[in-house]
Amino acid sequence: MFKYTLDNKRYHTLNYYYKNKFGIKVFKVSLNGGFSCPNLDGKVGFGGCIYCSKTGSGEFGGNKEKSLTEQFYEMRDIVNKKHIPCKYIGYFQARTNTYADIDTLKKKYEEVLSIPDVIGLNIATRCDAISDECLDYLTELNKKTLLTIELGLQTIHESTSKLINRCHTVEQFDLMVRKLRERHINVVVHIINGLPYETKEMMLDTVKHLNTLDIQGIKIHMLHIIKDTGMANLYLKEKFHVLNKEEYIDIVIKQLEILDPKIIVNRITSDPDKDTLLEPVWLTEKCQLLNDIDKEMKKRNTYQGINL
């Protein structure tokens, strides 16, 4: 059995990390803090990343018209239907969750941390949206709770980054990772497989680059094309290749094989909204996809880090 797992997984699971750290089941509760994005309002760009939905990738978060406390209890009952004994991580998911003044950030973060059984925060953001003042506040927050900053990278390749309108550089990303780690703040990185015109080798290169950084976790997503987005318009116009399930499984396994086994795999597939999904339709069968990855890794007798 692979070292960093409690079940049949052959990669370092988030469940293993939480169970070993807290000795109890931990659920992440997705929240919508009502933040904007510097890639929407003109600070660094307009229109946002072309794959991003109107909700800012917060389809399964709370209703931003409600308080964060109300959102928390509503979403808690979804993720923990049986109300088993557990603890919770407040997950600020939609858009760029450090993109506000410090007083606003403090009010939102600390409201969630005041909820019973909340033991930490995961904050999704961009590398160009964390000010020095915000870094100082996050440093203090990190001393009081389990804090994780989730940084979107998606790809290390400049041609793809320009195509998807990321509006930041790999150098900016690497610098922010270093700044966060100098303050001992945990970093999880988001990447996307299947971006237009990227080859398998390009996707593997992105993971190889992450191995050179001091990161604690990774989220691997499959590109899902959402209706009424820039990505959907590009796909309908150019019909670029969308990975099939077998291709995706093969790429993910090869990425895991070269990924440092100490890096925690927070996610290994996307979780699209069926009603807004254009392609690929196979991505809606999440449980089957996860099982297929496990079966193929067993068949190949492989595991995370084997080819380091």
Q: What span, in angstroms and rounded, lies between the C-alpha atoms of 148 and 265? A: 14
Domain that holds residue 283: 14-300
- CA neighbor of 283 nearest in space, from 293, 294, 271, 295: 271
Is residue 8 one of the residues assigned to a domain? Answer: no
pLDDT band, residue 257 (cuts 50/70/90): very high
Q: What span, in angstroms and rounded, lies between the C-alpha atoms of 259 and 220? A: 12
Residues in Cβ contact with 173 at an 8 Å cutoff, skipping those fewer than 6 apart: 127, 151, 153
What is the amino acid identity at position 57? S
Helix 286-300 and helix 245-257, axial crossing angle in degrees, nearest 10: 50
Is residue 308 one of the residues assigned to a domain? Answer: no
Question: pLDDT exceeding 70 applies to what percent of the chain?
Answer: 97
Is residue 184 one of the residues assigned to a domain? Answer: yes
Q: What span, in angstroms and rounded, lies between the C-alpha atoms of 161 and 51? A: 12
How high is the pLDDT of residue 19?
Answer: 94
Looking at per-residue pLDDT, the higher value among 57 and 91 belongs to 91
Is residue 27 one of the residues assigned to a domain? Answer: yes
Question: pLDDT exceeding 90 applies to what percent of the chain?
Answer: 91
- Among 9-13, 105-109, 253-257, 272-276, name the one with the lowest average pLDDT: 272-276
Residues in Cβ contact with 245 at an 8 Å cutoff, skipping those fewer than 6 apart: 280, 282, 289, 292
Check if the beta carbon of residue 95 is closer than 8 Å to that of residue 36: yes
Residues in Cβ contact with 190 at an 8 Å cutoff, skipping those fewer than 6 apart: 124, 150, 151, 152, 153, 154, 218, 219, 221
CA distance from start to end of the chain: 18
Reply yes or no on whether the pLDDT at 212 is more than 80: yes
Structure token digits, residue 189: 């990185």
Alpha helices in 143-279 (DSSP H): 158-163, 170-182, 200-210, 230-238, 245-257
* 252 class by beta-carbon count within 10 Å (0-12 exposed, 13-18 middle, 19+ buried): buried
Reply yes or no on whether the pLDDT at 56 is more than 80: no
Q: What span, in angstroms and rounded, lies between the C-alpha atoms of 168 and 153? A: 9
CA-to-CA separations, 145 to 132, 139, 229, in angstroms, rounded? 20, 10, 37
What is the amino acid identity at position 75? M
How high is the pLDDT of residue 5?
Answer: 87
Reply yes or no on whether the pLDDT at 57 is more than 70: no
Reply yes or no on whether the pLDDT at 53 is more than 90: no
Is residue 227 one of the residues assigned to a domain? Answer: yes
Reply yes or no on whether the pLDDT at 58 is more than 60: no
State the total domains in the chain: 1
| Mean of pLDDT values over 248-264 | 98
- CA neighbor of 146 nearest in space, from 261, 6, 13, 21: 21
Q: What is the pLDDT of residues 151-199, one digit of tens each?
A: 999 999 999 999 999 999 999 999 999 999 999 999 999 999 999 999 9
Is residue 307 one of the residues assigned to a domain? Answer: no
How high is the pLDDT of residue 188?
Answer: 98
How high is the pLDDT of residue 55?
Answer: 66
| Mean of pLDDT values over 92-117 | 97
- Please report how many Cα atoms fall inside a 13 Å half-sphere around the Cα of residue 144, on the Cβ side: 11
Q: What is the pLDDT of residues 121-159, one digit of tens each?
A: 999 999 999 999 999 999 999 999 999 999 999 999 999
CATH at residue 199: 3.20.20.70
Q: How many CB atoms lie within 10 A of CB 147?
A: 23
Is residue 279 one of the residues assigned to a domain? Answer: yes
